Amino acid sequence: MAHAFIVFDFGTNEDASQQARHRVEGWKQGFRLGNKLQMKFERAASGKSGAEEAKPEAKSKKEKPDERAERVRVLIRLDFSDHEKLSFQRWLERIPKEEAFKPASGRVVRQGDADFPDTQKLFDSLD
């Protein structure tokens, strides 16, 4: 099976990651992709310490004191059967070129790559 992951790092840009999610959901419905194209989010807290977060005067007026910036990574799994190699390659090329994914830095993790098993475990562990 043609199997690969595309990992996008959106940083703290939640709006851009949600636009990307809407785009993928539209593709899944429009092209009837089902489980051939799956998307999951990994969110991690930023590196701010508790002392920095406790100082409301250091924050801008738009930020709330309880709000924490989360780093958002989007993992997309392409899982096509062997006879769909052309479709697999087209989606692999198309997704990073789309406008919704331009704000993020992306990388492709293929089945033979060294970090493929770690990426697969991460993808399986996310809900």
CATH number at residue 98: 3.30.70.600
Any domain includes 92: yes
Q: What is the pLDDT of residue 9?
A: 96
pTM of the model: 0.80
Q: Is residue 119 part of a domain?
A: yes
**Per the structure, how many domains does the chain have?**
1
Domain assignment of residue 81, yes or no: yes
> Is residue 31 one of the residues assigned to a domain?
yes
Nearest-angstrom CA–CA distance, 84 and 95: 17
Domain that holds residue 14: 2-44+69-125
Query: Is 39 among the domain residues?
Result: yes
List of E strands, the chain? 2-11, 37-45, 70-80, 105-110
Give the pLDDT of the chain (127 residues) as one tens digit per residue: 778 999 999 999 999 999 999 999 999 999 999 999 999 999 988 655 443 444 444 444 454 544 567 899 999 999 999 999 999 999 999 999 999 999 999 999 999 999 999 999 999 999 8
Is residue 79 a part of any domain in this protein?
Answer: yes
Q: What is the pLDDT of residue 67?
A: 58
